[in-house]
Amino acid sequence: MEYTQLTAAELESTKAALDKEFEELKAKNLKLNMARGVLSNDQLDLTMEMLGNLRDKSDCISEAGTDCRNYGLVDGIPEAKRIFAELLCTTPDNIIVGGNSSLNLMYDTIARNMIFGVEEEGSTPWAQQGKIKFLCPSPGYDRHFAICERMGIEMITVDMLDDGPDMDTVEKLVSEDPSIKGIWCVPKYSNPTGVVYSKETIVRMSALKPAAKDFRVFWDDAYIIHSLYDKAAYQIEILDEVKKYGNDNMVYIFTSTSKISFPGSGIAVIASSKHNIDKIKSHMSVQTIGHDKLNQMRHIKYFGSLEGIIKHMERHAAIIAPKFQLVDEVLTRELEGLGIAKWTKPTGGYFISLDVYPGTAKKVYEMMCELGVNLTPAGATFPYRKDPRDQNLRIAPTFPPLDELRQASEALCLCTKRAAVEKLLNA
Ligand SMILES: Cc1ncc(COP(=O)(O)O)c(C=O)c1O
């Protein structure tokens, strides 16, 4: 029965039972973690062989003839550019293979635009234009928001719907306000909702008519190939789509192998129009003599081709899909029909997004801490860590082993129910 239909007496007795359960669980001194959106040990072990695959000099010579043990090729070795171009359905001219982190490329891209302006000739640096703003579809990725906060960029929260950001709001704001310079997008298996942007959303994003001539879409395709099940979500290519509307230079795409090979030791990529890539390359060649080409070589030798990467991702999915299913099973068993929570059922990516009873997410987080279960803090999925409805929590199922994940999920359900009952009793 839905909690909102319970009488005060029924709520009191439910609370008493939940309190008892809570105290019993607390006495077990749990030490669990469902906060870390990282690879499990089993996943990390999949790629160990990669570390030993540069054995002699011949393994280090790129097809361009460059010795990867030495300086050179600031935009990456050609064979890496080719595979990433294929992954992103573009050409190697539209790609720079960077260092070990796409977030680093995003930060640098914003910093570059703050200091030098966007890639158009005569563009005024963002930092010289007074207050500038970014649209932040939320729930979203906390580290995107942290970059804006650190750079002094005002963040405007936009609702994330089932098929992507609320495009009515995005179109309106972007077309009216020239101080809005960017929008964060995680178009496939979004963090944390798992949302896959629909074709209509991508078309509307491509066709934006920004009031700011130096507006940019930050298209963070971190989970581009991270399907949990056989049928991967298909999306149209935004770099092609923007050309139809004369917005050729409006989009930067980012991706990396962080959740394909080794987080923090993978390879990252930025893609954009050739015009933008040439400009970015010219700045980058002052910033660095080149990125880690030996690591690029290791990846190329290990995966061989895009096909190789796709096959490899099936091995990741075999390890993590059962974890997503387990969390869903526990949430369904414990919370369905109570009218106090809803959660996403992602078909890819790294997270499940749980909306608890409005006004209780912080409380649920505190209760989880009390039980010894580490959860991403409530509010983290919104700009300035302020969830206007105080209801969203991000669940990261990939790291813990199944038995720990089950205990953590059960604890989460208990806290969700307990916080909702308390809220209803105090209403
Ligand atoms: C949406 C999104 N973008 C970027 C990253 C980080 O990527 P990288 O390791 O390439 O910096 C993450 C990691 O969780 C993420 O969820």
Is omega for the bond preceding 358 within 30 degrees of 0, making it cis? no
Is omega for the bond preceding 192 within 30 degrees of 0, making it cis? yes
Token pair, residue 43, equals 């996943």
pLDDT in tens, 136-147: 999 999 999 999
The residue from 271, 304, 337 where one domain ends is 304
- Does residue 21 form part of some domain? yes
Q: Are residues 338 and 300 in the same domain?
A: no
Domain that holds residue 30: 3-43+310-425
| 254 CA from centroid of ligand 1 (Å) | 9
- Could you tell me the CATH number of the domain that includes residue 339? 3.90.1150.10
Q: Given pLDDT bands bounded at 50, 70 and 90, which one contains residue 132?
A: very high
| 377 CA from centroid of ligand 1 (Å) | 18
Q: Are residues 77 and 219 in the same domain?
A: yes
| 270 CA from centroid of ligand 1 (Å) | 13
**Percent of the chain scoring above 90 in pLDDT:** 97
Residue 98 has φ and ψ, to the nearest 5°, of -100, -140
- Does residue 406 form part of some domain? yes
Distance, CA of 346 to CA of 162 (rounded, Å): 11
> Which atom from ligand 1 is nearest to the alpha carbon of 105?
11
Across the range 90-118, mean pLDDT stands at 98
Contacts of 320 (CB under 8 A, 6+ apart): 40, 43, 228, 397, 398
Q: How far is CA 183 from the centre of its chain?
A: 14
| Alpha carbon nearest to ligand 1 atom 3, residue | 222
- Could you tell me the CATH number of the domain that includes residue 122? 3.40.640.10
Q: Are residues 196 and 323 in the same domain?
A: no
Token pair, residue 235, equals 């999306």
Across the range 269-280, mean pLDDT stands at 98
Distance, CA of 295 to CA of 37 (rounded, Å): 23
| 222 CA from centroid of ligand 1 (Å) | 6
pLDDT in tens, 205-228: 999 999 999 999 999 999 999 999
Q: Are residues 316 and 233 in the same domain?
A: no
From 104, 109, 143, give the residue whose CB has the most ligand 1 atoms within 8 Å, as the site to mutate. Answer: 143
pLDDT in tens, 4-58: 999 999 999 999 999 999 999 999 999 999 998 899 999 999 999 999 999 999 9
Across the range 252-274, mean pLDDT stands at 98
Q: Are residues 168 and 263 in the same domain?
A: yes
The residue from 270, 304, 338 where one domain ends is 304
Mean pLDDT over the full length of the chain:
97
- Does residue 217 form part of some domain? yes
**Residue 133, pLDDT score:** 98
Instruction: Find out whether the beta carbon of 381 lies less than 6 Å from any atom of ligand 1.
Output: no
Question: Per the structure, how many domains does the chain have?
Answer: 2
- Written as one letter, the residue type at 271 is A
Q: Are residues 246 and 323 in the same domain?
A: no
Q: Are residues 346 and 369 in the same domain?
A: yes
Distance, CA of 256 to CA of 226 (rounded, Å): 11
Is the pLDDT at 1 greater than 90? The verdict is no
Cα Dmax for the chain: 78
The DSSP H or E segment spanning 154 is: strand 154-161
The residue from 304, 322, 339 where one domain ends is 304
Distance, CA of 386 to CA of 382 (rounded, Å): 6
From 109, 220, 252, 254, give the residue whose CB has the most ligand 1 atoms within 8 Å, as the site to mutate. Answer: 220
- Does residue 54 form part of some domain? no
- Does residue 53 form part of some domain? no
> Which atom from ligand 1 is nearest to the alpha carbon of 100?
10
Instruction: Find out whether the beta carbon of 191 lies less than 6 Å from any atom of ligand 1.
Output: yes
| 132 CA from centroid of ligand 1 (Å) | 24
Q: Are residues 128 and 201 in the same domain?
A: yes
Q: Are residues 11 and 71 in the same domain?
A: no
Across the range 306-328, mean pLDDT stands at 97
Q: How far is CA 421 from CA 42, 60, 323, 381, 411, in A?
A: 39, 62, 28, 24, 15
Distance, CA of 31 to CA of 411 (rounded, Å): 12
Q: Nearest CA to 194 among 412, 37, 337, 307?
A: 37
Instruction: Find out whether the beta carbon of 135 lies less than 6 Å from any atom of ligand 1.
Output: no
Distance, CA of 246 to CA of 398 (rounded, Å): 41
Q: Are residues 365 and 419 in the same domain?
A: yes
**Residue 202, pLDDT score:** 98
- Written as one letter, the residue type at 5 is Q
Q: Are residues 36 and 95 in the same domain?
A: no
**Residue 231, pLDDT score:** 83
Q: Are residues 128 and 30 in the same domain?
A: no
- Does residue 380 form part of some domain? yes
- Does residue 289 form part of some domain? yes
